């Protein structure tokens, strides 16, 4: 009798222990998921996503998209810039990424870039070249303002060796 009681209580303790440790595990994973981190550096996001998707918006303003396919392409690239802008608020693997993303002004520029690219998406959808130009002007101003405030004279990582027209203007 005594033995079976103690076995039951032992089982209960074991179950409680398992429950408790799984609660701890849940707590940990919830904490980890709030600390999102990009698998690449912000510099790489800049060169491969931001710069890549912004250039065609400016080009479109000089040379109007010619057909349905051109407009669709412009819409997709503007979407990529919209997401790219939002990604700039998440640190990646670069040496000073966290210092940037912790800064309120930085996050403000990232948010403005994303919003301006969202306007380019709408302009491409309605095939409105004037609105594309307007969004393009807003975008270039945001790139330049953030570069003036945050971009080091020498890139922190010399990755692609390519400079956008904007970056060249700032040198
Ligand atoms: C939130 C701030 C911010 C915004 C907005 C921003 N940049 Fe950058 N950009 C940087 C910083 C900082 C670097 C330097 C990264 C490094 O050296 O690690 C950089 C680097 C670059 C580079 C890499 C080459 C170089 O000169 O070092 C290019 C190209 C670039 N940006 C283009 C753009 C374009 C185009 C836009 C707008 C569509 C833009 N950036 C918007 C902060 C910004």
- Residue 7 scores a pLDDT above 60: no
The residue whose CA is least distant from atom 21 of ligand 1 is: 46
Which three-class secondary structure state does DSSP give residue 65?
coil
Segments making up each domain of the chain, as ranges? 1-35, 42-169
Q: What are the pLDDT digits (tens) for 115-148? A: 999 999 999 999 999 999 999 999 999 999 999 9
Nearest to 86 by CA among 117, 61, 111: 111
Q: What are the pLDDT digits (tens) for 51-81? A: 999 999 999 988 899 999 999 999 999 999 9
Task: Identify which of 42, 89, 151 to mutate to test ligand 1's pocket (most ligand atoms within 8 A of the CB).
Answer: 151
Q: How far apart are CA 143 and CA 51, in angstroms?
A: 10
pLDDT given at position 165? 43
Distances (CA, A) of 114 to 54, 88, 96: 11, 9, 22
Q: Are 108 and 131 in contact (CB under 8 A)?
A: no
Nearest to 73 by CA among 15, 29, 132: 132
pLDDT given at position 158? 53
DSSP annotation of 157? S
State the fold for domain 42-169.
1.20.120
């Amino acid at each position: 009798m005594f033995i079976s009681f103690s076995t039951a209580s032992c089982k209960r303790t074991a179950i409680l222990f398992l429950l408790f440790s799984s609660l701890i595990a849940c707590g940990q994973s919830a904490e980890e998921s709030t600390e999102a981190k990009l698998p690449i550096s912000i510099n790489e996001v800049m060169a491969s996503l931001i710069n890549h998707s912004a250039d065609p918006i400016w080009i479109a303003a000089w040379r109007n998209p010619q057909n349905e396919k051109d407009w669709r392409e412009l819409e997709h690239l503007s979407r990529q810039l919209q997401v790219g802008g939002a990604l700039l608020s998440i640190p990646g693997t670069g040496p000073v990424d966290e210092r940037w993303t912790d800064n309120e002004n930085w996050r403000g520029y990232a948010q403005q870039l994303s919003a301006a690219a969202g306007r380019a998406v709408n302009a491409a959808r309605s095939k409105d070249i004037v609105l594309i130009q307007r969004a393009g002007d807003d975008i270039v101003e945001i790139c330049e303002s953030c570069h003036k405030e945050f971009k080091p004279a020498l890139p922190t990582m010399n990755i692609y060796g390519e400079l956008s027209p904007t970056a060249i203007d700032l040198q």
